């Protein structure tokens, strides 16, 4: 049984920009590439905004999430400043990725390097209804760490 395919229009803001691509048939994320002409050095704990040279026309009811690439995180310490970025369905500008070097050494981003990945997620809008009380649950108001680490 195959996965559903959602067609999304893509615009190149930079003629040399690369179209995102899936590395394997089972990949959930398509790779975003750095649309830069020269390498960019990022010192430890430094942030950088890396352009991808592309924009997407995302269908209403979906978002594109920008996520770190695990290989870059492990090998270079490259991560996303905001954890996961969201590209809303009504955004039509160029996608840029806010990266941070969490490693101990300066790293270099090369032109066309795969810098992040994108995943298409179905979304629903919420309607917020103010209430004086919330329905009780087994967890109640117990917060961080309250679910424990014991095995059943």
User: CATH no. for residue 59?
Assistant: 2.70.40.10
Q: Is residue 46 part of a domain?
A: yes
Q: Give the pLDDT of residue 37.
A: 96
Alpha-carbon radius of gyration of the chain: 19
Q: Residues 55, 10: contact at Cβ < 8 Å?
A: yes
Number of domains in the chain: 1
pLDDT digits over 123-133, tens only?
Answer: 999 999 999 99
Does the global pTM surpass 0.95?
Answer: no
CA neighbours within 13 Å on the CB side: how many for 95? 32
Q: Other CB atoms closer than 10 Å to residue 99's CB: what's the count?
A: 25
Q: Is residue 133 part of a domain?
A: no
In the predicted model, residues of the chain with pLDDT beneath 70 are 1, 148-152
Q: Is residue 130 part of a domain?
A: no
Q: Is residue 69 part of a domain?
A: yes
Kindly compute the dihedral angle of the four CA atoms of residues 128, 132, 136, 140, in this order, to the nearest 10 degrees.
Answer: 90
Q: Is residue 45 part of a domain?
A: yes
145: left (phi over 0), alpha (psi -120 to 50) or beta: left
Domain containing 51 equals 9-122
Q: Give the pLDDT of residue 145.
A: 75
Q: Is residue 103 part of a domain?
A: yes
Q: Is residue 93 part of a domain?
A: yes
Looking only at the bridges linking them, the beta strands covering 85-87 and 9-12 are: unpaired
């Amino acid at each position: 049984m195959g996965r559903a395919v959602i067609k999304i229009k893509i615009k190149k803001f930079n003629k040399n920009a690369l179209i995102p691509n899936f590395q394997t048939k089972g990949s959930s994320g398509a790779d975003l590439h750095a649309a830069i002409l020269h390498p960019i050095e990022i010192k430890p704990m430094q942030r950088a905004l890396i352009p991808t040279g592309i924009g997407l026309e995302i269908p209403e009811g979906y978002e594109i999430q920008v996520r770190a690439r695990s290989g870059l995180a492990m090998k270079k310490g490259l991560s996303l400043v905001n954890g996961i970025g969201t590209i809303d369905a009504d955004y039509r500008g160029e996608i840029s990725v806010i990266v941070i070097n969490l490693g101990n050494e300066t790293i270099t981003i090369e032109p066309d390097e795969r810098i992040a990945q994108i995943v298409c997620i179905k979304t629903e809008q919420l309607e917020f209804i103010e209430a004086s009380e919330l329905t009780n649950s087994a967890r109640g108001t117990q917060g961080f760490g309250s679910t424990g680490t014991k095995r059943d």
